């Protein structure tokens, strides 16, 4: 009985976590600023790769830094909106 309850809790928690991840991804992808930044950086990386080959690790580091910056910007603007509505 106890194992069944643990399993049900695990599935319930997994579903909640998966839902939060999907909502976060949807809001990240739907933001036009994020799309614009990724588009511009993608073009820059392609152009750089044509004339000066760059290591894949450098490209991945730049990509991760962009994602972190965009998430930080989204959270900051979200907090500002909450403060102005109160």
Identify the band that residue 1 occupies on the pLDDT scale cut at 50, 70 and 90: low
CB 66 within 8 A of CB 41: yes
DSSP state of 54: -
Could you tell me what percent of the chain has a pLDDT over 90? Answer: 0
Domain boundaries, the chain: 1-30, 32-86
Amino acid 77: pLDDT: 77
Identify the band that residue 4 occupies on the pLDDT scale cut at 50, 70 and 90: low
Ranges of H-type helices in 1-86:
2-30, 32-51, 56-85
Amino acid 81: pLDDT: 67
What does pTM read for this prediction?
0.52
User: What's the CA gap between 39 and 72, in Å, rounded?
Assistant: 19
């Amino acid at each position: 009985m106890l194992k069944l309850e643990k399993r049900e809790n695990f599935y319930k928690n997994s579903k909640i976590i998966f839902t939060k991840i999907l909502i976060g991804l949807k809001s990240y992808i739907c933001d036009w600023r994020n799309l614009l930044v990724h588009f511009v950086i993608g073009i820059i990386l392609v152009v750089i790769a044509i004339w000066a080959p760059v290591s894949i690790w450098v490209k991945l580091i730049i990509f991760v830094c962009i994602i972190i910056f965009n998430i930080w910007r989204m959270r900051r603007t979200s907090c500002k909106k909450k403060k102005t509505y109160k």
